[in-house]
Each structure stands twice: as structure tokens, then as C-alpha cells.
């Protein structure tokens, strides 16, 4: 009966033997990221021994790469989105002051394509190594009838840790505090549904190969720029930071209010940094209002930092790339973010 069962499942679109081979390859790559705290990852659950903290607080987050995956699939370049998902998740828990400990991934597609999965995982492994985060588990799902050929989904799950007394929760933010910004590498992982519609990518994928002089590269190359990870550069200045906001989906309007206490608002000076050409191009091609651009995209600022005026010089000395882009003011009605 066993051969018949295997054949029937394969005919239904699921190849168990291929899945086993792919998972073994992933496991080999994942082991290269293991920290000393990893106990095992071959069971039904992966184990990580937490040590070296007095009052550890675990910080977790989960996210996806979104429809940027469609661009990666169309161009046949899938390693960068693997880096994207790790870096995005690391940045999210960094906003609480957390150090990344371990990461798990979820990859789902209609039919397993080993080369595609290996490319995705290679990017995940590279990003985990660069941040000292262990890839200790995950799931590779073959789901015929759910995903069309060539398309897939990629989701990441991360756990980090921070000493309770060092949690960055924004409670100490007051008027006159300064907002610093760190540049993004481009769109990062947000706004791709609007971009696909703006350029008609789904109907005409060849437009991804068009070279734009203002970008200095093709549209596809620009759209696959890796989501930057800010953990390595921000780690040394965490003790003098009050809080941070990762500018992802929702842009400035949707993310900065998440860290502001009651009674204050953020004033962003949009002329304090140079808007990267890709955002000007999107706005022009889509005839999109500027207000919506700041609600959808990061507009060239991937991370905002809030600190007291006295700490600005120290932070900029360590992070020369940081620039003052705004300030905290007293709250104005329901407006939490003013872009002027």
C-alpha cells in the first residue's frame, strides 16, 4: 500500500520525498547560524536556552515581505527577500531595545522548487549571521491549488531579549526632544502593491528591465534593494535613546504615533533630507498625492530615533549618517504627526 499512497499524494501535487530533501538542505544551512544557546532543532519544537540576563524580557514579532515577493519571482532573484524578512523583523524588536536571539521562517508555494527555496534560505542565513541571530526552525509548505506557479509566500518569526530596565517604551518622551533619521535603501518591504499598479508590472513584467537614468539602474534592481538592518549600528547608542520607530507599512503617519505618549506629537521636517529618486518616480508615474506618499512609503528614512537634545551630539558622533529630521512638540488635537 505504501507505494500507492506515495503515488496518490504526488498526483495530488505534494512530493514528500522532494520536501524531505529540501528540508535537509535548509537544516544544513541553518546550523551555520546557531549561537551557543541553541540546544536542538530536530524535534517538533526548537529549543534555546536563555542565559546571561538578570530580568530578561522576551520580545517577539512576526511579519511578511508582502508583494515584493512578486517582483523577486518575476525576476528570478529570490535571495534578497530572504534577507529582507530577517532584517525587517530584527528592526521591529530593536525598537524595544531588544537583541535578536532566534528566527523561524515559513515558506509556502504551490509546488516546491528546490532552487527557489535554497535561494530564499541563503538570504535568510546570511542576514541571520550578520545579526548574530540563530535560524532554529521553520516550515516549508507545499500547497497546490493555493499558490499559482512561481508565486510563494515568506513569513518570519523572531524572538529577542532585553533587560527589563532597558526597555525602550517611549514613556520618557517629552516636548523638545529631537527626532533623528537613518536613511533607507529604498522601499524596503512596503508599498509594493501600489508600485505594481503604478508601473503596470503584473500586466507587463518586462518594465522591470527598463533602465532609469535617475535611478542609475533598472526598475527591478531598484525594487529589490535589500531592507536595511539597523541593529549593528544602533546597538552602541541604545543606552542614550528614548525610543525608535521603524518606518514600515503606514509610513511616518502610521508608525511614529505607536511610540508617542499622550500629550505629544511629532513634527517632521520633510526638507531635512534628500528624497531618493525612486519615490519621486513613483509619485510622478502614479500621480500620487504627497500626503499619501508619506502614509505608504518611508520616503528615504527607514528608522527614526528620539532622544533628548543633550544626546544628539553623542549619537551623531557614533552614527555620522544620522540626521536631525524633526522634533517632539506638544500635542495638537488628534494630529500625532505633522509633516511640514
In this structure, the dihedral spanned by the alpha carbons of residues 30, 35, 40 and 41, taken in order and rounded to 10 degrees, is -30
Is pLDDT of 312 > 90?
yes
Residue-level pLDDT at 9: 67
Residue 78: DSSP 8-state? -
This prediction has a pTM of 0.92
pLDDT tens-digit readout, 98-139: 999 999 999 999 998 999 999 999 999 999 999 999 999 999
Residue 140, H or E segment: strand 134-142
Nearest to 152 by CA among 86, 81, 90, 62: 81
In angstroms, rounded to a whole number, what is the distance separating the alpha carbons of residues 190 and 119?
21
Residue ranges of domains in the chain, CATH in brackets:
2-166 (3.30.1330.10), 178-339 (3.90.650.10)
In angstroms, rounded to a whole number, what is the distance separating the alpha carbons of residues 321 and 303?
12
Residue-level pLDDT at 1: 45
Residue 107 burial (CB < 10 Å; 0-12/13-18/19+)? Answer: buried
pLDDT tens-digit readout, 68-105: 999 999 999 999 999 999 999 999 999 999 999 999 99
Q: Are strands 47-48 and 152-163 parallel, antiparallel or unpaired?
A: unpaired
Reduce the DSSP state of residue 124 to 3 states and report it. helix
Per-residue pLDDT, averaged over 245-268, amounts to 96
Q: Which residues of 236-245 are buried (b: 16+ CB within 10 A; e: fewer)?
A: ebbeebbbbb
In angstroms, rounded to a whole number, what is the distance separating the alpha carbons of residues 138 and 141?
10
Nearest to 227 by CA among 90, 70, 33, 93: 90
pLDDT tens-digit readout, 34-73: 988 998 666 678 889 999 899 999 999 999 999 999 999 9
Is pLDDT of 295 > 50?
yes
- β-partners of residue 60 are 159
Cα dist. 85→11, 62, 225, 335 in Å?
33, 9, 13, 31
More confident residue, 335 or 255: 255
Amino acid at each position: 500500500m505504501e507505494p500507492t499512497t506515495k503515488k496518490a499524494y504526488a498526483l495530488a501535487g505534494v512530493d514528500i520525498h522532494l520536501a524531505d530533501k529540501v528540508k535537509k538542505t535548509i537544516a544544513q544551512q541553518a546550523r551555520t547560524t546557531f549561537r551557543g544557546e541553541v540546544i536542538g532543532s530536530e524535534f517538533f519544537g526548537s529549543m534555546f536556552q536563555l542565559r546571561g540576563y538578570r530580568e530578561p524580557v522576551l520580545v517577539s514579532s512576526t511579519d511578511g515581505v508582502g508583494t515584493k515577493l512578486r517582483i523577486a519571482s518575476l525576476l528570478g532573484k529570490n535571495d534578497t527577500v530572504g534577507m529582507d524578512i530577517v532584517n525587517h523583523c530584527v528592526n521591529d524588536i530593536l525598537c524595544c531595545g531588544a537583541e535578536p536571539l532566534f528566527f523561524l521562517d515559513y515558506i509556502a508555494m504551490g509546488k516546491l522548487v528546490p532552487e527557489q527555496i535554497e535561494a530564499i534560505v541563503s538570504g535568510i542565513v546570511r542576514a541571520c549571521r550578520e545579526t548574530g541571530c540563530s535560524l532554529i526552525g521553520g516550515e516549508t509548505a507545499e500547497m497546490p491549488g493555493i499558490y499559482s506557479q512561481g508565486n510563494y509566500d515568506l513569513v518570519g518569526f523572531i524572538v529577542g531579549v532585553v533587560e527589563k530596565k532597558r526597555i525602550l517604551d517611549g514613556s520618557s518622551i517629552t516636548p523638545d526632544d529631537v527626532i533623528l533619521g537613518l536613511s533607507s535603501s529604498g522601499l524596503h518591504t512596503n508599498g509594493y502593491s501600489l508600485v505594481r499598479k503604478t508601473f503596470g508590472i503584473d500586466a507587463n513584467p518586462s518594465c522591470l528591465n527598463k533602465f532609469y537614468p535617475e535611478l542609475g539602474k533598472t526598475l527591478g534592481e531598484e525594487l529589490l534593494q535589500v531592507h536595511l538592518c539597523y541593529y549593528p549600528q544602533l546597538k552602541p547608542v541604545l543606552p542614550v535613546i528614548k525610543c525608535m520607530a521603524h518606518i514600515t507599512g503606514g509610513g511616518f503617519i502610521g508608525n511614529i504615533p505607536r511610540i508617542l505618549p499622550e500629550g505629544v506629537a511629532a513634527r517632521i521636517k520633510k526638507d531635512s533630507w534628500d528624497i531618493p529618486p525612486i519615490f519621486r518616480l513613483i509619485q510622478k508615474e502614479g500621480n500620487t498625492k504627497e500626503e499619501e506618499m508619506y502614509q505608504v512609503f518611508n520616503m528615504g528614512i527607514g528608522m527614526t530615533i528620539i532622544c533628548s537634545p543633550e544626546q544628539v551630539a553623542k549619537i551623531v558622533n557614533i552614527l555620522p549618517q544620522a540626521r536631525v529630521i524633526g522634533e517632539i512638540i506638544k500635542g495638537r488635537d488628534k494630529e500625532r504627526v505633522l509633516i511640514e
